[in-house]
């Protein structure tokens, strides 16, 4: 395959219609979200329509939960579609599995015209043919006139499309002219032995029937396009314009993929085993037994763990269970992961828009309106984009600070639908106060939800903080004084607590040290939002009860024995 210089094409006269066509075999990957976003931007920018189509022709790997999850994530990102599935309703005609009757006559048509044919090889026979080609050091291309094809059998057969032996050329809107030599093709399968069309076939028929004018998808599909163009030609249809977008890479130059989770879990398990000085995962397996093998939770036993560590499987669900069992968080890969980690939809969308797209002038923070204004296929790069998690965290923090408290209340409520935190107990009044305390300092909503736990559940006081700030350094005595000061507050409001806080801060030799004992007592750790607000939100009774509890827990260390 070769490509020459970028040859931008003129705008189509027909109204623009783009589509996002996910296969529902898992969660929506950030790379998929970027594809959806670019299609959405392109359609909206040109006053066109954006279609969502669920490509569920793989009966084994497609699930209804995955389709629902993908739609929910698209909605969360605010990528609305004009035509497509109706969330919450059953399957409609935008699910390929509901369109089998539509595909059938097109397959028959190709068969009748001799442009498609039945192929009877079993998977084993095909593997043997492939191996023979490998041995002979020639590329394996399945063709109708190749020697050694299997005769008609009794079992199920597939249907293949006899792709022409000609060079296929097309102009990619991003990559320029692409040429694929005639001998680089296979006669692709268009109907599988289960009677379902393959992706290659359904995608062409649907893009045509749905009036798609532009196909924007990742570069991993680049080599599929010539095959699809062969089908368009066979039907005499005008193909849509194609634009293949750069892949999404990790910072270490590996492709960002679902397997990264398995990789991270494996690495963590190996470290864990080394630390325990015990490579036998039996104990770990035993501790996991109660939840093993139920519903969608994978079966976990020492063999499964051993196989996983030995890279015999990359199962993401197993990776998640194993990582959780040793207290390790896996990297976020899917939109759902970022949602659970407390990223704002707008921040994530802004961030993914910049992977492989450059709005110019080093612009980074862009509203949707600005994205729409600046977006064009000419400004999409040809080379892979990097996914810089640190930058995403920074950007999320920026968005949090720029969002109104009302906006954050809504974001937190949406966040609490996908992950459990005691913060869910807060009513809107309390939630607003918590947000006000953390807005300036948090990078993610999860950080706030985690750090504000102590407002809702009794904190377990961190041992080292308790020893440092209460047991030692005259902290205990200071806390006793603080208790009296707090008791003297006429009312538990800002007016009467402010001067008391001043006194607390001034206590002892080092300004602020005594206040630190109070902080540890009420929050369980040495870091918390400003004390005055913390005390106001906790209320008098809970504050005093926590001070008493801390005083009982961390007795003053006896003075050093004199020499």
Strand ranges, E, within 376-500: 385-386
Task: Write out the two tokens for 264.
Answer: 């991270």
Site string for ligand GLU, 73-92 (x = CB under 6 A): --------------------
Task: Write out the two tokens for 288.
Answer: 């996991």
Nearest approach in angstroms of CB 343 to ligand GLU is 23
Q: Are 487 and 544 in contact (CB under 8 A)?
A: yes
Q: What share of the chain is helix, strand, coil (3-state, %, to 5)?
A: 50, 10, 40
3-state SS record for 359-371: CCCCCCCCCHHHH
Element spanning 410, H or E: helix 405-418
Q: Does 200 bind ligand GLU (CB under 6 A)?
A: no
Q: Which is nearer to ligand GLU, 48 or 475 (CB)?
A: 48
Q: Are 298 and 321 in contact (CB under 8 A)?
A: yes
- Crossing angle (nearest 10°) for helices 513-523 and 531-538: 30
Nearest approach in angstroms of CB 377 to ligand GLU is 15
Nearest approach in angstroms of CB 203 to ligand GLU is 5
Q: Which is nearer to ligand GLU, 240 or 508 (CB)?
A: 240
Nearest approach in angstroms of CB 221 to ligand GLU is 5
Q: How far apart are the C-alpha atoms of 266 and 275, rounded to whole Å?
A: 14
Q: Does 208 bind ligand GLU (CB under 6 A)?
A: no
Which residue shows structure tokens 């913060």?
423
Q: Which is nearer to ligand GLU, 203 or 550 (CB)?
A: 203
How many amino acids of this chain bind ligand GLU (CB under 6 A)? 8
CB under 8 Å to 173, separation ≥6 — which residues? 8, 9, 214, 241, 242, 243, 377
Query: Active site residue: 258, 263, 382, 468, which one?
Result: 258
Task: From 212, 234, 311, 231, select the one nearest 270 (Cα to Cα).
Answer: 311
Q: Which is nearer to ligand GLU, 335 or 486 (CB)?
A: 335
Site string for ligand GLU, 13-32 (x = CB under 6 A): --------xxx---------
Is 382 one of the annotated active-site residues of the chain? no
Is beta strand 214-218 parallel, antiparallel or unpaired with respect to 241-245? Answer: parallel
Distance, first Cα to last Cα, the chain:
85
Q: Does 55 bind ligand GLU (CB under 6 A)?
A: yes
Q: Does 217 bind ligand GLU (CB under 6 A)?
A: yes
Is beta strand 189-191 parallel, antiparallel or unpaired with respect to 176-180? Answer: unpaired
Q: Which is nearer to ligand GLU, 25 or 193 (CB)?
A: 25
Nearest approach in angstroms of CB 505 to ligand GLU is 59
Q: Which is nearer to ligand GLU, 23 or 516 (CB)?
A: 23
Q: Which is nearer to ligand GLU, 241 or 519 (CB)?
A: 241
Q: How far apart are the C-alpha atoms of 409 and 415, rounded to whole Å?
A: 10
Task: Scan residues 317-376 and list those touching ligand GLU (CB under 6 A).
Answer: none
Nearest approach in angstroms of CB 180 to ligand GLU is 17
Nearest approach in angstroms of CB 216 to ligand GLU is 8
Q: Does 203 bind ligand GLU (CB under 6 A)?
A: yes
Q: Which is nearer to ligand GLU, 42 or 199 (CB)?
A: 199
Task: From 215, 128, 211, select the one nearest 170 (Cα to Cα).
Answer: 215
Q: Does 241 bind ligand GLU (CB under 6 A)?
A: no
What DSSP character marks residue 471?
A: I
- Interior/surface letters 396-432, b for 16+ CB within 10 angstroms, e for the rest: bbbbbeebeeeebbebbeebbeeeebebeebeeeebb
On the 0-12 / 13-18 / 19+ scale of CB atoms within 10 A, 194 is: exposed
Q: How far apart are the C-alpha atoms of 397 and 223, rounded to whole Å?
A: 39
Nearest approach in angstroms of CB 40 to ligand GLU is 14
Q: Which is nearer to ligand GLU, 36 or 470 (CB)?
A: 36
Give Cα separations from 203 to 20, 192, 232, 445 (angstroms). Answer: 11, 14, 11, 39
- State which of residues 208, 221, 386, 402 lies at the interface with ligand GLU (CB under 6 A): 221
Nearest approach in angstroms of CB 113 to ligand GLU is 25
Footprint on this chain of ligand GLU (rule: CB under 6 A): 21-23, 55, 199, 203, 217, 221
Would you please indicate which residues are annotated as catalytic (active-site) residues? 258
């Amino acid at each position: 395959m070769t490509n020459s210089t970028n040859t931008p094409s003129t705008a189509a006269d027909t109204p623009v219609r783009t589509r996002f066509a996910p296969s529902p075999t898992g969660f929506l990957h950030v790379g998929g979200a970027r594809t959806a976003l670019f299609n959405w931007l392109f359609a909206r920018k040109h006053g066109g329509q954006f279609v969502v189509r669920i490509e569920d022709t793989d009966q084994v790997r497609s699930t209804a939960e995955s389709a629902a999850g993908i739609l929910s994530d698209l909605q969360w990102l605010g990528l609305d579609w004009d035509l497509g599935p109706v969330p919450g309703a059953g399957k409609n005609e935008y699910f390929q599995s509901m369109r089998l009757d539509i595909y059938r006559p097109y397959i028959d048509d190709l068969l009748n015209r001799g442009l498609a044919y039945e192929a009877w090889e079993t998977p084993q026979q095909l593997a043997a043919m492939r191996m023979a080609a490998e041995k002979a050091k020639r590329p394996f291309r399945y063709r109708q006139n190749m020697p050694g094809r299997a005769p008609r059998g009794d079992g199920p057969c597939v249907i293949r499309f006899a792709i022409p032996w000609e060079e296929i050329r097309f102009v990619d809107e991003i990559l320029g002219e692409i040429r694929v030599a005639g001998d680089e093709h296979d006669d692709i399968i268009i109907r599988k032995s289960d009677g379902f069309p393959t992706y290659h076939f359904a995608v062409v028929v649907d893009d045509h029937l749905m009036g798609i004018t532009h196909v924007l998808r990742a570069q991993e599909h680049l080599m599929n396009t010539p095959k699809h163009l062969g089908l368009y030609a066979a039907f005499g249809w005008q193909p849509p314009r194609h634009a293949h977008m750069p892949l999404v890479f990790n910072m270490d130059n590996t492709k960002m993929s679902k397997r990264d989770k398995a990789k991270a879990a494996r690495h963590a398990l190996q470290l864990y085993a080394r630390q325990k000085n015990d490579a036998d995962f039996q104990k770990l397996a035993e501790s996991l037994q109660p939840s093993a093998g139920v519903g969608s939770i994978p079966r976990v036993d020492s063999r499964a763990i051993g196989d996983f560590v030995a890279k015999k499987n990359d199962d993401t669900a197993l990776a998640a269970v194993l990582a959780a069992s040793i207290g390790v968080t896996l990297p976020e890969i899917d939109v759902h992961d970022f949602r659970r980690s407390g990223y704002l939809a707008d921040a994530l969308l802004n961030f993914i828009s910049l992977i492989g797209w450059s709005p110019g002038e080093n612009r980074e923070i862009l509203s949707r309106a600005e994205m729409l204004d600046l977006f064009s296929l000419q400004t999409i790069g040809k080379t892979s984009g990097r996914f810089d998690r640190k930058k995403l965290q920074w950007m999320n923090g920026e968005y949090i600070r720029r969002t109104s408290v009302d906006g954050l209340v809504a974001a937190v409520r949406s966040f609490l639908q996908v992950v459990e935190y005691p913060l869910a107990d807060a009513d809107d009044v309390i939630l607003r106060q918590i947000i006000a305390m953390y807005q300036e300092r948090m990078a993610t909503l999860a950080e706030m939800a985690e750090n504000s736990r102590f407002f809702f559940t009794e904190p377990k006081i961190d041992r080292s903080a308790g020893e440092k700030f209460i047991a030692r350094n005259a902290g205990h005595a200071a806390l006793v004084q603080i208790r009296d000061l707090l008791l003297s507050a006429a009312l538990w409001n800002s007016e009467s607590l402010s001067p008391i806080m001043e006194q607390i801060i001034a206590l002892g030799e080092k300004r602020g040290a005594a206040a630190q004992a109070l902080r540890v007592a009420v929050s369980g750790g040495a870091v918390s939002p400003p004390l005055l607000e913390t005390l106001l939100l906790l209320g008098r009774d809970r504050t005093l009860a926590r001070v008493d509890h801390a005083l009982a827990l961390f007795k003053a260390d006896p003075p050093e024995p004199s020499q």
